Amino acid sequence: MAQTIAIANQKGGVGKTTTAVNVAASMAATKRRVLLIDLDPQGNATMGSGVDKYEVDSTCYELLIENKPTDDVIIKNTSGKYDLIAANGDVTAAEIKLMEQFARELKLRTALDVVQEQYDYIFIDCPPSLNQLTVNALAASDSVLVPMQCEYYALEGLTALMDTIQKLASVVNPKLKIEGVLRTMYDPRNRLANDVSEQLKRHFGEQVYRTVIPRNVRLAEAPSFGAPAMYYDKSSTGAKAYLALAGEILRRKSASSIKKTAKAS
């Protein structure tokens, strides 16, 4: 059974899509079966996976609105060695048409039910806003990974996002929890970044990943070559950081399983 993780932040420009593409590729590199779902109409995760968003036959639109079988919209063997459900401008229309659908919040969850056994991890790249697409992602997920920059406004936005997640959990997905808070585009020479980082650790404790994603030119360049950083420059600090993040996610899952087993016995 796949663990489904939504990668979400209502604030744009925090490294959300970079995180989605690179953590999916890093997890696939550990021999896990991975599906990445691009729910953002900008289609950046699709292009960053080496798939031309203008040439795809099917996207999340066909999945959510036209009820096309899930297996038929999955693109196999992307440049990141994971499978992909693509997005492009058509997905903007899905946001509107979802309003007319019965049980609209559960469309994605229902679509993913049939492929749960095919994957170990499903990552969902959410739009940078709280709309019907994001609500679908959160309703379909076990947890939320929140990328954020260490700056004042990002910290303020994070509090609002946490409140939103809690409210949604009570309505559409009671099992939804915070997977972790990821510090992105981090510059340790910046005093404000260090101050905000310390505030994060005080407020959210172990929910803050130990792994920090640095500002890295290779991470920024990789999407223009249609590849995750580890396949563009595996020696870059950005590529190594996302491999470390994948390892941390796996260790957390293992520790959680051990705790559950201990409680059960």
**CATH assignment of 3-264?**
3.40.50.300
d(CA 183, CA 197) in angstroms, rounded, equals 8
Q: Which residues contact 73 (CB under 8 A, 6 or more apart)?
A: 58, 59, 60, 62, 63, 85, 86
Of 215, 251, 219, give the one whose Cα is nearest residue 25.
219
Query: pLDDT exceeding 90 applies to what percent of the chain?
Result: 72
Q: How many other β-carbons are positioned within 10 Å of the β-carbon of residue 77?
A: 10
Residue 212: HSE in the Cβ half-sphere, 13 Å Cα cutoff: 14
For the residues 67-87, what does the mean pLDDT come to? 96
Digit-coded pLDDT (tens) for 181-208:
999 999 888 888 899 899 889 888 999 9
Order of strands, sheet of 121-125, starting from the edge strand that comes earlier in the sequence:
74-75, 83-85, 34-38, 121-125, 3-7, 143-149, 177-186, 208-214
pLDDT at 231: 97
**pLDDT recorded at residue 147:** 94
> What pLDDT, on the 0 to 100 scale, is given for residue 239?
97
The overall average pLDDT reported for the chain is 92
98 vs 263, higher pLDDT: 98
Question: Domain boundaries in the chain?
Answer: 3-264
Answer whether residue 88 shows pLDDT above 90. yes
Instruction: Let me know if 170 is exposed, middle or buried by CB neighbors in 10 A (0-12, 13-18, 19+).
Output: exposed
DSSP 205: G
Position 265 confidence tier, pLDDT thresholds 50, 70, 90: low
